[in-house]
Each structure stands twice: as structure tokens, then as C-alpha cells.
Amino acid sequence: SLAGLDLRAEIDRLRKEKNAVILAHYYQKPELQDIADFVGDSLELSRKAAETDADVIAFCGVKFMAEVAKILSPQKTVILPDVNAGCSLEDACPPEKFKAFREAHPDHIAITYINCSTEVKALSDIIVTSSSAEKILSQIPRDQKIIFGPDRHLGGYLSRKFDREMLLWPGVCIVHEAFSETELLKLKAQHPGAPIAAHPECPPTIVDHADYVGSTSGILNYAKTIDADTLIVATEPHIIHQMQLAIPGKTFIGAPGADGNCNCNICPYMALNTMEKLYISLRDLTPQIEIEEGLRLKAKESLDRMLGMAS
């Protein structure tokens, strides 16, 4: 039993003993963010995973993120505290269907959001994250036809911003899909001076009201620049923890779902990771991410293209 264990101290001890680095996404529980060596967005976490000289990467995030770490650092042991931490975007894009879609549009290149399986990465030309997508898209010749998947809201946002048609895969993030425009406008009326920051995984009904649209780290940086004393945050609300640490004294309000509060926007996949599970995974070095070498090398090509084009 774990009862009576000082989990923080035990995780610290194991981290040293196993020469492990703990990486956490902004959507993780505050205690996991606090114990991590590094907290970041998807692009920053990929870069950290590629650079670290630790023997073990303990990934507090979802499975596709831990797989990216393994693709980029195959010689390292990569552990994910809960192996069931998936993503609705990955689920929405089965590799065999994606392959058939690509084959039906041979004159298109596939620019694919990092929130997908390793198999779909291997079937793609260039991976993007929400923080690298605009920079990468601006480097693609305008006459090049594009398939963009699996997030149709991010794809739609980029398509409008660049005034450029793309074939969109119909996936959504269930978390960002749950924000309510009606409730957001009610909240905005109660805080007239508060800007709204939104993640591009939100539908247009939310993004269209935003003063800033960007990745989690983009939103966090934006929060540091505002004059207003209150910010409305239309992304997974655990990121508010980093805002409160970085900018004490300001008020950060999670954008509401249809029930009027922001708890329905907690990512159920990210929430599967806990301090207890992190402790056990460091102690036992399990569950480990394993990727077949041929598949890994193919997926690495599209990821490396992103890392090259985004730098």
C-alpha cells in the first residue's frame, strides 16, 4: 500500500536513482506540474525529450506525447504513468482510414497535428503543433494542395487565417469542443474589461470572440502581457496553475461549458495521471512506450521536418 508514503520525496528519490527527467504538459494536475523538471506545450516537450541526457523520461501527459519522446529518443526508457491516457483526436483518426484518404488525394501533402498516433505520423509529410503550425504553413507554396488532420477546428482556423483551402479531417478535441458560446458571452458581460485567450482547438464560435489565439505556452505568455486584472481562459483549466504561479495577483477564469462552470473542460485523459501512478511507474519503470523500429523511423521523418521548419 502507498498509504503513509511521502510521494513527493519518493518521486524525488527515484528520479535521482534512475537518472530520470519528469516532463509535464500544462494540462496536468498542479502537483504533477510542480514536481516536473520541465512543464511545456507539445513543441517544447518534444524538444526537451530530444535533448535530455537522462536515461528515463517520465512523461506526465498523454500517450501520443510519450510516443513522440520515444520516437526522438529511442535509446531512452520512456514511461507514461497511465497507459490509457489517450486523446479524442487520436481516436478520431484510425491509420487505415487516414491511409485510404491520402490515397484518394495523391496530389495533396499531409500536414498533420501532433495529436495523432505514431502510425498516422508515419503516413504524414509534416507534423505541426499549435505553436508551430503558422510558421510551417507559411513555408508551403500556395499552390501546394494540403490535407490537414485530425483536428478540424485547428485546420479551419489556419485555413481562415491564411485564406487557404485545405481538406480537413473531421476530428475534434472533446475538451475544447465543450465550451459554450452563450455562457462565454454571459461571463464576458460580467467582466467587460477581461480579454479572452483561446486555444485553436476551440470551435469558431469561441475563437471568434478571442483577443488572443494560440498554443498553451502562447496563452501563458499572453497572460503575462495583459494590462487587465482578469483574463478569461478558453483552454483546459489546469494551465491556470502556471498563470497563478507566474502572475500572482491577477484573476484567471476558465471559460465555461454549457453548465456554466469550467470543470466539464478538464481533459479526462490527462486527468488519468496521478502522483501515485507516477511513483509506481518510476519505481517499476512501467508502463513503457515501445515502437517498432521501421514505424519509428518513418514517423521521425515527419517530426524532424517540423523541428527543422519550426526552429
Which of 52, 130, 242, 302 forms a contact with ligand 13P (CB under 6 A)?
Answer: 130
Q: Which residues between 105 and 134 bind ligand SF4 (CB under 6 A)?
A: 115
Confirm whether residue 264 is marked as ligand binding.
no
Residue 25 assigned ligand-binding role: yes
Number of residues located near ligand 13P, criterion CB under 6 A: 11
176 is in an annotated binding site: no
| Minimum separation from the CB atom of position 196 to ligand 13P (A) | 16
The span from the CA of 26 to the CA of 39, in Å, is 6
The reply to whether 175 sits near ligand SF4 by the rule CB under 6 A is yes
Q: Any idea what DSSP says for residue 185? A: H
Residue 180 binds ligand 13P, judged by CB under 6 A? no
Q: Which of residues 194-233 bind ligand 13P (CB under 6 A)?
A: 199, 201, 215-216
Q: Which is nearer to ligand 13P, 115 or 159 (CB)?
A: 115
Contact 150, 174 (CB under 8 A): no
Q: Contact with ligand SF4 (CB under 6 A): which of 20, 231, 236, 254? A: 236
Q: Pattern 79-118, binding to ligand 13P, x per CB under 6 A?
A: ------------------------------------x---
CB distance 157 to 200 below 8 Å: yes
> How many chain residues bind ligand SF4 (CB under 6 A)?
14
Looking at the DSSP bridge assignments, the partners of residue 191 are none
Q: Who contacts 133 (Cβ-Cβ below 8 Å, separation ≥6)?
A: 111, 113, 154, 158, 200
Torsion, Cα 232 234 239 242, to 10 degrees, reads -30
The answer to the question of residue 67 lying near ligand 13P (CB under 6 A) is no
Query: Please, which residues bridge with residue 170 across strands?
Result: none
Nearest to 85 by CA among 290, 299, 289: 289
Annotate 236-249 with DSSP letters as a single string. -GGGHHHHHHHSTT
Q: How far apart are CA 129 and CA 151, in angstroms?
A: 11
CB of 42 to ligand SF4, least distance (A): 9
Residue of the chain from 26, 169, 269, 279 that contacts ligand SF4 (CB under 6 A): 269
Given the C-alpha cell 470572440, which residue does it identify?
A: 209
| Residues binding ligand 13P (CB under 6 A) | 41-42, 115, 129-131, 173, 199, 201, 215-216
Q: Which residues define the annotated binding site for [4Fe-4S] cluster? A: 87, 173, 267
